[in-house]
Structure 1
């Protein structure tokens, strides 16, 4: 029993350390982002891609852990994705849907529904995976722009457009709110 407790304590300590590392990375990106706000004025679309979502059909879901489809419900409060309640499709369908594939350090923004404005950050343990409906995917256009910086910009923009959501049945963001928004980088 003591050996089991000792092993579980080691695993728990590792989890806590990893959570602290993640928190520190987000804090460093925020510091870098805040420093960037004093530079030139450009449109967000000049530094980041904005990929629309895809509504996968439930008939394509498989019971085996093959290719993950990340949904808005998989975004935790810490902005990281969780594998809880992930659905899967066959890896054979990847070529058909590769346009919607996530890479490590992608950012997402929920653009419709009850979770509108929720942001997520994709880590390497959540790839390979595909982007489901109701979210946009953001990725740096240049290799010298870190994904965490795009995450910070999306959060910054989100705070400034949150009141611009429209719609009669469900509120939603319009893509031009992000594409045309100018800010300092």
Structure 2
């Protein structure tokens, strides 16, 4: 095997191996319902993919004017200001065509020196160090020169492509698993909407029909008529209540014992508003809970069924009965938390507002059958979540060692 020294590693500044350019400050009045996709910071997911669920567009007739902000396959995106400072995305063909919005830099690899995918992984590793070193300053941004002068140790193109192939295999497998998770959750979400939002079983019974795909025993749990309520027509016998009627709500707590890496000692997830932010030595909750962001990040709703420590930036929902756990989870995912924001300088949710949030409360039997129907699909989804986390952790352990040449390929 080759020794690490023979991989022809050379030191480069980022500006030597890539072109950097900022995005354009598109105005909201320019947006249209269809046309050319304008990629904003909100479209970059935690794992660097591009999500078009909150896509905005500009009319095709305007595109030529902004040609220089057009993205290409292999472009790397970096959020350099704001609450999501440090988020890194990668442009694949299925995200195109797209134009780059403000608050991001586009990093375009010079392919004769560095492979775009290799640079993406290397940049993600190195930029964390830069952000950590500058975190003590009052700035909520990185200057372009900070990024342009980032020092990178880059091997030969041959080794780059070998490393890229290994890491891409991890990511491709993880992507397939995440697709399975998505489809499982879509099936569960569709059943939830049919039963508790669109009231399909009640509508069918009101017409004297057996609800589609439902046996008579299950159908008997649903009424055959509606009654008026402050939230509009609801199934007869169901109630309008508040989240506080079915769940306890509390804030997370600060945990000083933390590690950026998982280990035998630091093995419990430490949660922020958008998910796992580090690892700690003990748990605050061991039972199933729902967690949302309290400060900063709003709108991300996640469930946890194993021991975790939610930080003081989170709100925790613990249902009074197991039968209402997934019902509440899906109700929360439908909420516009921005409407309850009480923060001035940064977003803030309060326990009081969440307790008072009104929702329809179905009868207990319908909730229990819903839990039974989704049980095995939920177990499959949870198992796949664990597999995905394991793949991500394994890749993250291998990545710096592959990048540095410590591991042979």
- On whether the aligned pair clears a TM of 0.5, the verdict is yes
Give the Å deviation of 1:165: 5.2
CA RMSD of aligned residues (A): 2.3
Give the Å deviation of 1:51: 0.8
Counterpart position of 1:172? 141
Q: 1:145 aligns with which of 114, 136, 158?
A: 114
Other structure's SS at 1:152 match: helix
User: Residues of 2 paired with 1:63 and 1:179: CA distance?
Assistant: 36
User: Residues of 2 paired with 1:74 and 1:57: CA distance?
Assistant: 17
Q: How many residues align?
A: 150
Q: TM-score, normalising length from structure 1?
A: 0.73
Other structure's SS at 2:152 match: strand
Query: Residues 14-47 of structure 1: CA distance to partner in whole angstroms, max 9, x if unpaired?
Result: xxxxxxxxxxxxxxxxxxxx99996111211111
Q: 1:58 aligns with which of 11, 17, 28?
A: 28
Other structure's SS at 2:57 match: strand
Are the aligned partners of 2:71 and 2:96 in contact in 1 as well (CA < 8 Å)?
yes
Counterpart position of 1:16? none
Matched, 1:85 2:58: no
Q: Which structure 1 residue ranges, 5 or more long, are not aligned?
A: 1-33
Give the Å deviation of 1:157: 2.4
Matched, 1:118 2:87: yes
User: Residues of 2 paired with 1:183 and 1:100: CA distance?
Assistant: 26
Counterpart position of 2:68? 99
Give the Å deviation of 1:146: 2.4
Give the Å deviation of 1:92: 1.5
User: Residues of 1 paired with 2:27 and 2:152: CA distance?
Assistant: 38
Seen in structure 2, the aligned counterparts of structure 1 residues 72 and 35 have a Cα distance that, compared at 3 Å, is farther
Seen in structure 2, the aligned counterparts of structure 1 residues 174 and 144 have a Cα distance that, compared at 3 Å, is closer
Give the Å deviation of 1:152: 1.5
Counterpart position of 2:313? none
Bigger shift: 67-76 or 35-44? 35-44
Seen in structure 2, the aligned counterparts of structure 1 residues 59 and 141 have a Cα distance that, compared at 3 Å, is same
Give the Å deviation of 1:153: 2.6
Query: Residues 48-75 of structure 1: CA distance to partner in whole angstroms, max 9, x if unpaired?
Result: 11111211011111112x1000111111
Q: TM-score, normalising length from structure 2?
A: 0.34
Other structure's SS at 1:88 match: strand
Tell me which structure has the larger Cα radius of gyration. 2
Other structure's SS at 2:145 match: helix
Are the aligned partners of 1:80 and 1:121 in contact in 2 as well (CA < 8 Å)?
yes
Are the aligned partners of 1:43 and 1:183 in contact in 2 as well (CA < 8 Å)?
yes
Matched, 1:130 2:93: no
Give the Å deviation of 1:155: 0.6
Counterpart position of 1:39? 9
Q: Which structure 2 residue ranges, 5 or more long, are not aligned?
A: 155-409
Matched, 1:161 2:133: no
User: Residues of 1 paired with 2:12 and 2:97: CA distance?
Assistant: 32
Are the aligned partners of 1:119 and 1:155 in contact in 2 as well (CA < 8 Å)?
yes
User: Residues of 1 paired with 2:62 and 2:137: CA distance?
Assistant: 33
Counterpart position of 2:39? 70
The structure whose RCO (Cα within 8 Å, separation 6+) is larger is: 1
